[in-house]
Homo-oligomer: A and B are copies of this chain.
Amino acid sequence: MAAEPTAHELLRKHRPTLDQALEAIRTRAYWSPHPEHPKAYGEDGSLDAAAGKAAFDALLGNRLDLADQPGVDDWVGGEVSPYGIELGVTYPHPDIDVLLPAMRAGQRAWRDAGPELRAVVCLEILKRISDRTHQFAHAVMHTSGQAFMMAFQAGGPHAQDRALEAVAYAYAEQVRTPEQAEWTKPQGKRDPLVLTKRFTAVPRGIGLVIGCNTFPTWNGFPGLFASLATGNAVLVKPHPRAVLPLALTVRIARDVLAEAGFDPNLVALAAERPGEGIAKTLALRPEIRIIDYTGSTAFGDWLETNAHQAQVYTEKAGVNTVIVHSTDDYQGMLSNLAFSLSLYSGQMCTTPQNLLIPRDGIATDQGHKSFDEVTADLARAVDGLLGDDARANALLGAIVNPDVKARLEAAAGLGEVALASREVTHPDFPDAVVRTPVIVKLDGAKPDDEAAYMSECFGPVSFAVAVDSAADAVELLRRTVREKGAMTVGAYTTDAATEQAVEEACLEEAAQLSLNLTGGVYVNQTAAFSDFHGSGGNPAANAALTDSAFVANRFRMVEVRREA
């Protein structure tokens, strides 16, 4: 078979990286093969900053051709960057009755390739993506509205890390069962019973990845690579406002698959017409056996309730809480929180929303601080962080869509404003909507306020919620996670009993907890190979990135046994 020499080469090239990834998910120590620094790119075939920018510019206003993806019945696309420019890129629109059957044609060879070859083919796809990190950075920036540096890191190396992590878990899971076993059962004085058994990891069918607007690669890659590495074909349905990064991904995947001797239709793109709602149609097709979704709770719940033919992995919305009880590093706490609230204008599923602060104030290394002092100091910290427009732009990015802007504007009416949002002008993109976060004071004891703080207000909106006590805060945390879900929980406390109570609430409600962060790690950031993103155990998400539950049901193990 023609792929043999390539297979050998891919194994030689990527097996060491796979082994390092396997070791990293065992130890959960820090590791990444994907550099975070823009200047690290430009050698060994990777695009440097200028080449990446040029490669991005070359896409604008053109068709993004996916070579011979079957069943193209139209060209669609209408992405407008949150920074104001029209991308003008069009993508093939699929006739799914042609595309889905075509995607199954290559599945047998992909299955027969086995877990190891599939893994290194996935790593080759990731290598090509990594080489184009600068190009992806612009594509992510101009679809998500992330500032360039964040688009570069979160959309590039961090997303690639999450993809590699998924490949490692998928590989490990498939090789837990040996390919073959001899089974010899003693029968006393008679001859033993002897069977030869062969075990094959078989795919479920076609995986559907439904991408999101804010993190098209970071949230899209894990499902894509987990399904592909376990032998499935993968159909990628990007968010209509963030097609480009995933279309580039699909193009690279198709190229690598074809070069390695596999059918490029194992990965395909489903771009859609405005308002078409193709995800709903695809999600119920019998060929679709796995769905990975990031987005609204409403559609996530709909998928979980209706797509019975598929394994459904969702990341939906939650209400993230930080308990501010006490600290021995008041300035560190304020700086850390200010950064968390500001990063990407709070448009992360992990951004804190509710800051629960005792109404009698908190103990700090700078003495007792009243509720109003804490909120005022936090407002000042955010102001200080974002006082300089250049720095503000570099941190905030742009508001991703008009819904977020509308929520931000409405938030000021929900209570007393501790920090007002302000407009920031972007020097390069005058049409970009850039806004600093708003902080609104609410009272945890007031039923009217509860409607606000118990709903997700996605965007740069936080609520400083006055609570009666540490116990009251923990109880509200617990109720929030149970009823609304949470991707993250944070807490600041110097009190051992409070710390233990918060930990216990997080263990019981299955929420990921960051304690007393005052330095350069933020509650809204998780690192692949070490941190779990979401828990899969509260309403915010039914899966975690990444554990073996995320991969183990994407394939099945089929046994063929015969007498030896």
Contacts and interface: CB of A to CB of B under 8 A. Distances in A.
Contact of A527 (B173, B185, B200, B548): B185
Interface of A: 25-30, 108, 111, 173, 176-178, 181-187, 193, 195, 197, 199-200, 202, 204, 304-305, 308, 503-504, 506-508, 510-521, 527, 530-532, 535-537, 544, 547-549, 552-553, 556-563
B544 A557 contact: yes
Given A193-B521, A520-B187, A558 B535 contact: yes
Task: Name the residue among A25, A29, A507 with the largest chain B CB count within 10 angstroms.
Answer: A507
A552 B556 contact: no
Nearest to A104: B508
Nearest to A286: B482
A488 to B, nearest CB: 10
B28 A513 contact: no
A76 B564 CA distance: 51
A181 B305 CA distance: 37
A176 B548 contact: yes
Given A178-B28, A195-B521, A199-B28, A512 B558 contact: yes
A532 to B, nearest CB: 5
A510 B184 contact: no
Given A202-B508, A508-B202, A558-B506, A530 B183 contact: yes
B521 A177 contact: no
A183 B530 CA distance: 8
Contacts of A532: 557, 559
Given A193-B519, A552-B549, A183 B557 contact: no
Contact of A30 (B25, B26, B184, B513): B184
Given A193-B521, A197-B531, A556-B536, A181 B29 contact: yes
Contacts of A182: 29
Contacts of A193: 519-521
**Which A-B residue pairs are the 4 nearest by beta carbons?**
A537-B556, A549-B552, A28-B181, A515-B562
A146 to B, nearest CB: 21
Contacts of A553: 536, 549, 553
Contacts of A548: 173, 176, 548, 552
B519 A563 contact: yes
A531 B187 contact: no
A527 B197 CA distance: 12
A183 B30 contact: yes
B197 A561 contact: no
Nearest to A563: B519
A513 B561 contact: yes
Given A173-B548, A202-B510, A513-B561, 6 more contacts: A29-B181, A195-B521, A202-B537, A510-B556, A532-B557, A547-B552
